[in-house]
Chain A
């Protein structure tokens, strides 16, 4: 089963829409509550990343019998140093974004913590692709 969501950069009011919808689907599929929680946290962080940093993005998820794969592709500034971005607390978020309570530098570390498999590729001034997979 495939679900696709468009994410608009800068639109914080709608951040969380994809994670809420995915959560509902996983509950109906009788996925363990603890696993749902991990997936939802990862999806939400990924959504906020696009909203806070990129111009726009697409979140695509494939939910199967025993796993879920989420791919988020965005058009945006890209990540200069992916390794550094994975460090807890490292952030390039603007002051405005931080004042809204986002951009604490926990986005990618949180995704890593909650995903079973994670892959990030990024190109400066073009965009970023985050792909993660969790097994139920």
Chain B
């Protein structure tokens, strides 16, 4: 299998970033450092969870996306979107109004991704139910999959090797369009992403070399465009397009959306920092008797996705209300013509562990580095201020042994060494300028940050 280079959806806008410490502290894998006054993300460590985007006070992080105009390169323009898109709109807008707006924007076919969800849940159930030492872990959230690959390698084999709902709907759409006589080369599939993690995953699917979609649209961007064209008049009736959508599908991306499918003991955890704490315990073998584990990086699941506009709790509540109006997946009769083909396409390749936190592949050297880091840590103040550009003193100590930082990057050590005449004040100042950028220490009444924050 060809392994493609790692791809990340999150980028830093160097014009906007002014090098504060918010993101370095929010990152669950300590992947960000401040270099030359700008946040720099380690490609090795980043899991695309988007916590940095959330933490940034000046919106300096952005996600790469495709221009909506790209859809017009295709004759058949399919939009795939997760149900959370609908949940963001105020109740006064009907589903049909939103669907109508999508047609106005130029799409010819509309699919919500969580359908026919029973085909996916059937596949999951086939893989669970056997008595195992550890529960099976859902592969739904790509940030979680990447987190486990890098931080919890021993749990990688517990991840269910199945693809996500967008693969389900994309393949479903492709089959249906083929039947309608559409040429595959003239069909463009566009996925509306609720987050950076899904964007990265769609670009680099698990164990695959090619993505099933032709383009990715930022949900925040699409929301604004829909609001511009949403029809005031009575929209057309699109209910036919939702005939395969079920209550279970609508709830799938919310907390317990997957777990509720199981009669056995299934748990749901949302919020990546909560997930980290739970996985620590799972790895210690503290948690037993669990069959299925649904882990979602965002609080409130995809309703809390970083590319959503609405409030996560309101979105979740609206989806729950919407779900009541739909039948349970088990009560739905779906034309099973493509079921076998699609279920086969949902099988993912092997998921490999990453081991990105290894200090050195040679254990003797790794041990040496660790001991040196421990000694360095004795000299550091332990207040985790972030003024060195690393998220905490421990991270700085490790950066130093890896040759990525210097002892004098610590402002406490600097002061001490200046006091002991081991360092000149001028040199110390220059060191700090290397981290925070030139002129960063000048007075500036218009500076970003440090103002109106926290209220």
Interface residues of A (CB under 8 A from B): 1, 16, 19-20, 23, 25, 27-31, 33-34, 36-37, 40-41, 44, 63-66, 136
Contact = CB atoms under 8 A, between A and B. Distances in A.
Contact of A16 (B151, B154, B286): B286
A92 B359 CA distance: 42
A40 B153 CA distance: 14
16 contacts: A1-B370, A16-B284, A20-B280, A23-B280, A25-B370, A27-B153, A27-B357, A28-B359, A29-B359, A29-B370, A30-B363, A33-B154, A34-B154, A40-B284, A41-B284, A41-B285
Nearest first, the 4 A-B pairs at minimum CB distance are A33-B154, A30-B358, A33-B153, A41-B285
Contacts, number: 62
Contacts of B355: 27, 30
A136 B361 CA distance: 14
B353 interface: yes
Interface of B: 151, 153-154, 280-281, 283-286, 353, 355, 357-361, 363-364, 366-367, 370-371, 374
- If over half of B's interface residues share one DSSP class (helix, strand or loop), that class is named, otherwise mixed; here it is helix
B133 to A, nearest CB: 10
B364 A65 contact: yes
A44 B370 contact: no
- If over half of A's interface residues share one DSSP class (helix, strand or loop), that class is named, otherwise mixed; here it is helix
Contacts of A65: 363-364, 367
B371 A1 contact: yes
B285 A30 contact: no
A128 to B, nearest CB: 21
A29 B283 CA distance: 17
For A27, A37, A40, A41, the residue with the greatest tally of chain B CB atoms inside 10 Å of its CB is A27
A31 to B, nearest CB: 8
B360 A30 contact: yes
Contacts of B366: 28-30
Contacts of B371: 1
